[in-house]
A and B are shown apart, each in its own frame.
Chain A
Amino acid sequence: MTNRLPALAASLLCGVFLLGCAQRVDQLVVLDWAGYELPEFWAPFADAHPDVTVDYSFFAEDAEAYAKLQTGFEADIVHPCSSWWGLYVENDLVQPIDTAKLSNWSGVHAELAQMGSFDGVQYFIPWDWAYESILVRTDKVAEVPDSWADLWNPQYAGHVALWDSGEANFAMTALSLGIDPWTATPEQSAQVQERLVEIKPNLLTYWVDYAEMAQMISSGDLWLASNAWPDAYGLLLDEGVPVEYIQPIEGRLGWVCGYGIAKGAKDVELAHEFLNALLAPESMAFLTNQYYYGAANADSIPLADPYVIELLSLDDPAILKQTIFYQTLTDAQRQFMTSMWDEVKAAP
């Protein structure tokens, strides 16, 4: 009689919170960027679990997702980018991923997989990645630039736009000065900040949204857009605007984002199955075709649109090594980069 009591209590509780109990098995909550909710990204999961609803909660900035989880939002899966991964692990917001349970793991680029591993434990599976480089309106410039440092060149005065992101501008400026952005000393950081203030006479504006930036290039007001992504490049090519997406001598920057399983995930097995579906070659090829982004799973390359693969050299085995990926930041580094950028913007 006594040992039946807990079971009875549990069933009573379940009875009282019937809805809550029912939801636990039927629902997966994904904290993701808007635009990543397309069912084509996880079709194998939908086939295997037609009874599970996948609910998306969206964020517009990495900081927003991080703040949401930090303040108790209950998600099963979260999709931050590499600079934030270390903070999630350090603050115990995600749990280890058992890659043995992921049948599509074998095709994942080792360089990218390594970035999601902390102390030998895989916490994030890399998923989407892309370059950041300078997008040039070729018919307006006398000379196509070949270095990040060319953004400061007075011949482009009044026609340069920087991305309104402290981290991106810090990285780009550090590279132009020959400084490693992720191991910069305080003196070097000060040097980067000074250099950024010097670019202001060259600027038309800061760009916030890629479609808006593409529109400014298309209208001819903007000649050089810094830290532009391949999606804007693709958009302008489709419109027939003469643009070039350069390969700076210091190297292109690259961002990579990936999925992690939140600490409080209700069903860890189910979460693993969802991640595996995301990594399926068909899912990832759809990503490349849809957004002109690179796929973490190399097995998707033969399935993707050859035009996009060739345009972005995604089948070049050396491409990942040549790309300078954003490294994970400490909280202090992250706050410094935002404050530094605010000081630059506020400088007279």
Chain B
Amino acid sequence: MSTRSEALLARPAAQLEVRQRITVLLTPPGLWLLLFFVIPLGVMALFSFRAASFGAQRQVFTLEHYQRFLADTSAQRLLWRSLLIALETSLICVVLAFPLAYFLSFRAGPSRLMLLTILVIPSWTSFLLRILAWKVLLGSSGIFNSLLLSLGWIEEAAPILLFSRGAVIITLVYIWVPFVALPIFAGLERINRHLLEAAEDLGSRPWQIFLEVILPLSLPGVLAGFLSVFIPTVGEYVTPLLVGGVDGIMYGNLVQDQFARALNWPLGSVMSLVMMLVVLVLTFGLGRGVKVTDLAGV
């Protein structure tokens, strides 16, 4: 009896200790987020109401730039295009990454760690360098053109694949596939293998096990992978600038132009905030019912 009551008494103290420990652990990242994310975001939100970037007009607050955005059909069109490009990229990534992750988790055996490392190694090279490499591959003297030429499918080399929306999607998919494979892999790893044995014992065929046990259980990982591509890709501007050509320009390019060239920071802020809002709404819509810990891939 006495030990039990002692344990009961000790509990609040232990809880306090845990709480303290969490506070200590969360303070540095919390401060970091506050300084470099929350405050800048606040500054940007404030800027979206300013009449101008500098001078006396800076102290005037107005809704002018929100009105201008609402009337700006080209910005809206590009936002829509960016959402579509991001959606296509993330879907293709998931389709390509799933078999990869499945293989790593269920078939690769002891060499999985090495294979996983090999998968991630290309991301150690500079992002820019990998985009430029695609420029060479897709260009008129690149491997695709040479292949089509030697097969006699085309008569003259042309940068058919380069400078298009397709080029943007191909490049982005290449860059993001490993980052989608990782959370899916983590999700598959967490599936209790006894469940698969149980399903087998109960007479499930392999495809039934996959469709009814593995796939549903891996969905949180799939969604995490999907979102980890979708969210950053909507605001992408470097890839379209380098390989997008005329039809591949994205919303991020307009935002950059407003900040860096027009020096219209208020309008740029409005455009950024609108994009954040749209992505946030979509993410919450998709992410309902998914735990944060699943998204983190733990």
Contacts and interface: CB of A to CB of B under 8 A. Distances in A.
Nearest to B241: A208
B163 A66 contact: no
Interface stretch (A267-275, A309-317, A332-340): A332-340
A146 interface: no
Interface string A42-53: 000000000000
A345 interface: yes
Contact of B263 (A66, A221, A347): A66
Interface stretch (A4-12, A197-205, A252-260): A197-205
B245 A334 contact: no
Contacts of A164: 241
A74 to B, nearest CB: 16
Given A71-B54, A346-B78, A338 B241 contact: no
B285 interface: no
Contacts of B140: 219-221
A206 interface: yes
Q: Is the interface of A mostly helix, strand, loop or mixed?
A: helix
B262 A339 contact: yes
A342 B253 CA distance: 9
Given A67-B263, A203-B246, A348 B77 contact: yes
A342 B159 contact: no
Contacts of B241: 164, 208
B141 interface: yes
Interface string B242-262: 101110010001100110111
B217 interface: no
Interface residues of B, number: 29
A64 interface: yes
Nearest to A201: B246
B77 A346 contact: yes
A334 B78 CA distance: 22
A158 B253 CA distance: 22
A111 interface: no
A278 to B, nearest CB: 27
A342 B74 contact: yes
Contacts of B258: 338, 342
A221 B139 CA distance: 8
A180 interface: no
Nearest to B142: A219
A346 B159 contact: no
A91 interface: yes
A334 B262 contact: yes
B218 interface: no
A204 B159 contact: yes
B253 A345 contact: yes
A343 B163 contact: no
A342 B254 contact: yes
B141 A219 contact: yes
A158 B247 CA distance: 12
A323 B163 CA distance: 33
A221 B161 CA distance: 12
B239 interface: no
Contacts of A338: 257-258, 261-262, 264
Contacts of B253: 345
A200 B247 CA distance: 9
A203 B245 contact: yes
Contacts of A208: 241-242
B146 interface: no
B53 interface: yes
B92 interface: no
B271 to A, nearest CB: 10
B33 to A, nearest CB: 25
B159 A221 contact: yes
B54 A70 contact: yes
B260 A63 contact: yes
Given A208-B241, A346-B77, A219 B139 contact: yes
B74 A346 contact: yes
Contacts of B246: 200, 203-206, 345
Interface in B123-171: 139-141, 158-159, 162-163
B175 interface: no
A347 B73 CA distance: 9
Contacts of B162: 221
Contacts of A305: none
A136 B260 CA distance: 30
A181 interface: no
A204 B261 CA distance: 23
6 contacts: A63-B260, A204-B159, A219-B139, A219-B140, A345-B253, A346-B249
In order of increasing CB-CB distance, the 10 nearest A-B pairs are A346-B74, A338-B262, A205-B245, A70-B54, A205-B163, A343-B74, A221-B159, A203-B246, A346-B78, A345-B249
